[in-house]
Structure 1
Amino acid sequence: MEIGEGKLPERLRRLPSRLINQLALSANRLVDRTLATERARRYHYALLASLEEFGSASQADLGRRTGIDRSDVVAALNELAERALVERSPDPSDRRRNIVSITMPGRQHLDRLDGLLTGAQDELLAPLSPDERRQLIELVTRVVEHRPGTDG
């Protein structure tokens, strides 16, 4: 039940879309608060994770990979570059665009963020057993992948 006066109607308490939204809001607040301890944001994490897993990429490719708007990619990369967590270099095949790479300090920062986010996930899913957590992830993944236009 949400904070406020009275009890929510049953139909609201059991509406999957509402429950998912409430969980997402709570999860986003928790993740934002956790990442802020390292002066990081969700965009930073997504960009560093993409560079670590898939390798160097253009800013446009990073936007497509992560689902982040191009202008937000540029702003987040500027912040990461100021901290030497990524570096940009001219694309040898097209000098008008930059190729972005994660640096060693960027990898170390990503490792710290991974550890913090593991703790945040544990906090978020505290009421669930390990088996229930796996089941939740499988079920939510199936729903997300079924919806057209989702990143999956």
Structure 2
Amino acid sequence: MTTSDWRARPSWLLTQTAQHAHRLVAEGFSSVGARGYHYRLLATLEELGPASQATLGRRSSIHLSDMVATINELADAGLVARTPDPADRRRNVVSLTTAGKRRLRQLEKRLDESQDTLLAPLSPAERQQLIELLSTLLDHHD
């Protein structure tokens, strides 16, 4: 690789691929009137069970200011429920509703379709290898 061969550098390739991935996922979610934060919050609730907004924010990496808006949107749609925390009435506990579980399955399907589009040129073995390599890089830098 020459110094002018910047398009062959891993950092540039990762950035460009990440931009395509983000666009595909955003388009998949928006086609059903959702956003990435909706998926992340619903998936976190399914994994954790009912939790406080602060816990959900930490586990989903959604900033508190975005968390409030996301919970409001999902609650207005009947996908999550907010109830006062019995241990601390000043705090709300957020839980996944049955409709929220159905919505999560729908969003997972869209996400899978986006992944398939992104990784279309790769064989199943190459996809697995890519996941392992990216996981190794991420684990190292986290």
Q: Which residue of 2 aligns with 1:55?
A: 49
**d(CA) in 2 for partners of 1:11 and 1:146?**
26
Match of 1:38 among 20, 27, 32: 32
1:141 aligns with 135
Q: Which structure 1 residue ranges, 4+ long, deviate > 2 Å from structure 2?
A: none
Cα distance in 1, alignment partners of residues 73 and 133 from structure 2: 35
Q: Could you say which residue in structure 2 is the equivalent of 1:4? A: none
Mapped partners of 2:5, 2:57: distance in 1: 39
Q: Which amino acid letter does the alignment assign opposite residue 48 of structure 1?
A: L
Where does residue 83 of structure 2 map in the other structure? 89
- Work out the CA distance in 2 between the residues paired with 1:117 and 1:147: 25
Normalising by structure 2, what TM-score? 0.96
**Bigger helix share:** 2
CA deviations on 1:27-71 (whole Å, 9 max, x unpaired) are: 001100000011111111000000011111100000000111001
Deviation at 1:11? 2.1
Q: Secondary structure at the match of 2:12?
A: helix
Q: In structure 2, how many angstroms separate the alpha carbons of the residues matched to 1:99 and 1:58?
A: 5
Alpha-carbon RMSD across the aligned residues, in angstroms, is: 1.1
In structure 1, runs of 5+ residues without a counterpart are: 1-8
Unpaired runs of 5+ in structure 2? none
Q: For 1:96, what is the secondary structure of its paired residue?
A: strand
The aligned length equals: 140
Using the alignment, how far apart are the partners of 1:100 and 1:145 within structure 2? Answer: 30
**What residue is the counterpart of 2:126 in the other structure?**
132
**Distance between the aligned counterparts of 2:136 and 2:68, measured in 1?**
32
Identity over aligned residues, as a percent? 53
Cα offset, 1:10, TM superposition: 5.4
Q: Secondary structure at the match of 1:84?
A: coil
